[in-house]
Chains A and B, each alone.
Chain A
Amino acid sequence: MTVAENNTGLAGPGGTNTATAAEAVIPAASRGERFTGYDVEAFEVPSGREENWRFTPMKRLRGLHNGTAEADGTVSVDVDAASDVKVEVVGRGDDRLGVGGAPSDRVAAQAYSSFTEATIVTVPTDTKPDKATLVRVTGPGEGKTAYGHLQLRVEAFSNASIVLDHVGSGTYADNVEFVVGEGAKLTVVSVQDWADDAVHVSEQHLSLGKDATLKHTVVTLGGDLVRVSPTARFAEAGGDVEMLGLYFADAGQHQEHRLFVDHAVSHCRSNVMYKGALQGNGAHSVWIGDVLIRAAAEATETYELNRNLVLTEGARADSVPNLEIETGEIEGAGHASATGRFDDEQLFYLQSRGIPEDAARRLVVRGFFHEILMKIDVPEVRERLVAAIEAELEAVENTANAEPATTA
């Protein structure tokens, strides 16, 4: 067994801006004991002080957490399906719903209790669609609230790519199930590219069958508040989950990613890598990486990493890795978390070769994301992300240029 580094970085002059990265902490109660259920009434209304909510600005949830956010709108779900892929819209009674996992917080339970119809996308057994299936979720519109439910099923021995795209305005809570059957392989990218006003709280249930492989990527760019909680569970041995994330928080944005990998069976692997950049006043990112290796999960192999790059003052990144190990018989387990300010030495080096400051900055940030972009193997998405990162960087330059230069 190996337990790797925990780089704890605190960056920024005077400690006013920026960055915290906590020690890996084992909370009082095991992450495995958190209550889950489908009925919203079974959950207490959170105050904001709970471990699960302590980083979230509760007021900005617009009542999703306390029952006051009534559904007065709907999202539209448009699917551009590859051949062989089946798309169904079903009612609440469909007994496939919920097999991927039960909500683990009140907002997810609210979504589960409130949705009226769900979309199920199925890749049938033994198929390999020739292209990615695109699922586009458009928000209910500014000032409106909606609840939703989506299930993506990849049946035994199939191999598919799915892109889940969130755009538009409004307030939205949902559950997304990724049900990957025996020996099947799913590559999925969930992009949160919301308009500035949007609030999105999403619990994503990753359910892996025997020998299943799931590559789950979360990309969060837009929105006022986005909170995505992916939970991965293995039904049987041999599962392999890779959880990747890329986020870019601008002034005023709150982006929260709460991961839970529940190793309850033997011989499974999980590999987590999230990278985020932050810029502007009040930009806030939160990354929680809970990994639990239960007593029965022998020969588990797990690694998780979170890196944050704080580009300007006034932005803050919280990063909390948490590894609980209940068996000594594992292959390897480790975690790393680091948050750093933009590296002036790198900037100096590039500039000393004649590269102007703005281009040098862009190179460094692109370089920071390079490793994770290379892992996103859906070409359309990768190109779009490269473009989105460029756009974010232009935004920071404009902000920087707009401010009067301060002289020492």
Chain B
Amino acid sequence: MSTLEIKDLRASVTTDEGAKEILKGVNLTVKSGEIHAIMGPNGSGKSTLSYAIAGHPKYEVTSGEVLLDGENVLEMSVDERARAGLFLAMQYPVEVPGVSMSNFLRTAATAVRGDAPKLRHWVKEVKEEMAKLEISGEFADRSVNEGFSGGEKKRHEILQMALLKPKFAVLDETDSGLDVDALRVVSQSVNEVAESTDIGVMLITHYTRILKHIQPDVVHVFADGKIAESGGKDLADELEENGYVKYIGKPEPARI
């Protein structure tokens, strides 16, 4: 049983006009086995929150804490956070030319597990996970994310999550850009990882669409750099109905 605590987290980016505060005091606690949907309009700071947790160098945390079982994550390097059990499925996964997906996955698994997985088991494990996500085998030889479609990138993010088995995963708009089939497949994999491990999930999304496939335990509305409201499934239904107008003062639908 693990706990991820985010306490009064503030973060800013440096722009041409100086530092711009984006996270304005985020408070959130996620426990193993829980799925928290974090729903917010465009530009509210959802990706910034994910990056701040993962340790992206562009975002400077100005105050607050992120604790993983009491350990201060903010003092760890990016790779240490991942090895401590944090995972971020990115909204825009990065292309790494010339590095094959298979080499990348194995290097990552070796780093996170502490030992190189036995080759024979590993090959089987990767094949099985790829099959579940309906990823064709040829992707193993392709460069990381290079030339992948949006949906292919998202499937590979979830593939990595399934292989690295983190304690906590932040899924940043994993649903965006997925067609109906891809959304089903990706959601199934997330559900399966959630059932077979004790993972805690922060499911970041703009739309209610993915919540038909993945049942959240808690729903949070994220607006203007912090959590504006928290509730159960009914909060998502309300957003579905009324959009974000109540939080941002102008209409922005939460369903497509």
Contact = CB atoms under 8 A, between A and B. Distances in A.
A364 B96 contact: yes
A354 B98 contact: no
Interface string B78-94: 11011100011010011
Interface stretch (A107-115, A214-222, A314-322, A344-352): A344-352
Contact of A355 (B56, B81, B90, B107): B107
Contacts of B43: none
B108 A346 contact: no
Interface in B52-95: 54-57, 77-79, 81-83, 87-88, 90, 93-95
Nearest to B166: A354
Given A349-B90, A367-B143, A344 B96 contact: no
Contacts of B81: 352
Given A349-B93, A353-B82, A366 B77 contact: no
Interface string A293-322: 000000000000000000000000000000
A351 B90 contact: no
Interface stretch (A117-125, A193-201, A257-265, A368-376): A368-376
B111 A354 contact: yes
A367 B96 CA distance: 7
B243 to A, nearest CB: 32
Contacts of A351: 77-79, 82
Given A354-B79, A354-B83, A354-B164, A349 B96 contact: yes
Contacts of A370: 97-99, 143
B104 interface: yes
A355 B98 contact: no
Interface in A83-99: none
A248 B207 CA distance: 48
Most buried by A among B79, B97, B107: B79
Contacts of B93: 349
Given A348-B57, A352-B54, A368 B108 contact: no
A353 B164 contact: yes
A371 B111 contact: no
B160 interface: yes
Contacts of B204: none
A160 B107 CA distance: 38
A356 interface: yes
Question: Interface centre among A344, A356, A367, by most B CB within 10 Å?
Answer: A367
A349 B82 CA distance: 11
A367 B90 CA distance: 21
By size class, the interface of chain B is 20 to 34
A349 B160 contact: no
A351 B108 CA distance: 9
B178 interface: no
Contact of B98 (A350, A356, A359, A368): A368
A14 to B, nearest CB: 14
A352 B111 contact: no
Contacts of A371: 97-98
A343 B174 CA distance: 24
Contacts of B99: 363-364, 366-367, 370
Contacts of B103: 363
B183 to A, nearest CB: 23
Nearest to B107: A355
A354 B109 CA distance: 8
Nearest to B14: A408
Contact of A345 (B54, B94, B104): B94
Interface string A66-98: 000000000000000000000000000000000
Nearest to A373: B98
Contacts of A368: 97-98
Contacts of B78: 348, 351-352, 357
A357 B107 contact: no
Contacts of A344: 57
Contacts of B55: 352
A110 B88 CA distance: 61
A251 interface: no
Contacts of B54: 348, 352
A360 interface: yes
A352 B88 contact: yes
A312 B143 CA distance: 24
| Shortest beta-carbon contacts, A-B, top 4 | A367-B98, A370-B98, A353-B108, A354-B82
Given A350-B107, A351-B79, A354-B108, 7 more contacts: A345-B94, A348-B54, A349-B90, A353-B79, A353-B164, A356-B111, A364-B96
